[in-house]
Structure 1
Amino acid sequence: MTHPAPGHFGAAVRRLAGRRQLGVDALAGLAGVPPPELTAILGGGAPNGGLVRRLATALRLHPADLFAVADLPVPEDVAPADPSAGWRLALLVQRAMRLSRRQRESLRAAVAALPAAARIGPPLEASSRHRYPPGPGGLLMRLMQNRNAGPVTTAKLLLVTTGQCLAASTYLKIGHGVLTPAPQRSTNFAMVIDIDSDDLAALTGLTVERPPPSAPTDIAGLIWDARRLDAAQLERAGALADRLRA
């Protein structure tokens, strides 16, 4: 079982800032916060929501993802629209995997052009079994929740995109720190999370290898864009994928 060190948020931000070649003063300037305040956070202090948003912009991350790193509830304005639509997301991705890269670009453009749906229902993290403790596995699963994927949808997404065949219960164990993902499994997560593999390694502290050139890494962007949609919109997007393939 993995146990994060105290101040895991500060450690993750330090590693990612190092990847960006940003010192404390430079990062504080980009985030618009006093350097002593940032130094306290990097040293293990607890961040507030406003600081998380500013740091996300400075570090070029989705705000929802940095909230996941901080182990804070994801605010409604940056959370997935329809937490019950994960199965529709998996079907959309399965259909998209049958398309050429150019066809997937057309599909993603159509998905991005759809209006954001009104928020429906409680977030996935409202369920006790989907509240993961701090740690690398918990962070991976919280990042998947930001993409509207609980354990079942995560299992389906990774199966159709990478061929990784694991039960939903295994992903629950990863999320709760019972299992630590091996480097290849961490790399498979990187293929459906639109975060650079080296950045994901910095955030999680895991070894994340770069996906092979032939990997369908463009799918991660489609998954992110689709989080704005409800089940009905995802169904229409799936029908469009079928038409593009015909």
Structure 2
Amino acid sequence: MSDAPGFGVLLQRLLANRGLHADHLARLPDLDPDELELLLRGSLEPHPVLLRALATALGLRPADLFAAAGWPVPAELRPAAPQARAQVTELVLLARACEPAELLRLRRFARSLWPVQPEPPAPADDPAPGHGFGPLLSALMANRNLSATGLAAITGLTGAALAGLRTGERPATPDELTALAEALDVRADDLFALAATPLPETGLTYAYLVRPHLGGLVGDLVPLPASRLAWVLALAHDPR
């Protein structure tokens, strides 16, 4: 879709999802009121300092907001072990069969392994996502080190369906957006905003059953180096 909304429009939608107005953000010490006004009017392009401050204020992953704004994701916000994507996929396939309590245990274990000191920056991939929801979806997957196989396993969407979304051959349906939001561990209304799709007037429906906490587990793995990710994978092989 080449008619994706500008960042100012997207920011207005993200604010509306939270019942907030620009005045709420303007009171925050890290956000300049004049910059914010220009941004919302579409007269100013976002910059990295502003994107980080907005992500904190809105409770979003900074890497996702960088991608949504069309900026390259900074190296320190990328997965620490991009070479371990196959292991993340294997973990997803194993975790699908876990009981909820076992999934929570895996999440707690993964978070307990987060490094105190940041890992060296991961090598950069593509410098910035393209325009439209398809490239953005690919960027959101990359932010989580999540393969197409892994995302299909979490959502229940077919590989062909995901490929169609990522290439922009067709727009995502509301049911697909709801499933993708759960898999990516983001608010459903935010993903609808990112896709420039209005929320259904009749409310969200859940045609695809996504296991609770599975998307969150994938996000918990992002800071882990490959050696520690292997420990989580070992626990998933024998969670009891």
TM-score when normalising by structure 2: 0.86
- Deviation per CA, 1:96-148, whole angstroms, max 9, x where unpaired? 1111000111111111111337246523335xxxx531222222221111101
1:229 aligned residue (211, 224, 231): 224
Within the candidate set 25, 28, 42, 2:26 is matched to 28
The unaligned stretches of length 5 or more in structure 2 are: none
The alignment partner of 1:30 has SS state of: coil
State the distance in 2 between where 1:100 and 1:36 align. Answer: 50
Contact 2:156–2:208 (Cα < 8 Å) also in 1: no
Q: Deviation of residue 211 (structure 1)? A: 4.0
Q: Deviation per CA, 1:44-80, whole angstroms, max 9, x where unpaired?
A: 2211100001111111111111111111111122211
CA distance in 2, matches of 1:171, 1:215: 15
3-state DSSP of counterpart to 1:124: coil
2:3–2:132 Cα contact (<8 Å) kept: yes
Q: Which residue of 1 aligns with 2:149?
A: 156
Contact 1:80 1:148 in 2 (8 A): yes
- For 2:9, the equivalent position in structure 1 comes to 11
Displacement of 1:239 in angstroms is 1.2
Deviations along 1:148-194, one digit per CA (max 9) or x if unpaired, are 12xxx1x2123322322214xx6455334333222222222112111
Residues in 2 aligned to 1:43 and 1:175: alpha-carbon distance in whole angstroms: 29
Count, aligned residues: 233
Identity %: 34
Is 1:65–1:146's contact at 8 Å kept on the other side of the alignment? yes
The reply to whether residue 43 of structure 1 matches residue 34 of structure 2 is no
Instruction: Note the residue ranges of structure 1 that are not aligned, 5 or more in a row.
Output: none
- Bigger mean CA deviation after superposition, 157-166 or 47-56: 157-166
Give the AA of the match of 1:142. Answer: A
Q: Is the 8 A contact 1:65 1:143 kept in 2?
A: yes
Residues 49, 32 of structure 1: alpha-carbon distance in 2 compared, 3 angstrom cutoff: same
**Cα distance in 2, alignment partners of residues 12 and 42 from structure 1:** 9
Task: List aligned pairs for 1:97-136, cutoff 5 A.
Answer: 97-116=96-115, 118-119=119-120, 121-126=122-127, 132-136=129-133
**How many angstroms apart in 2 are the aligned matches of 1:85 and 1:211?**
31
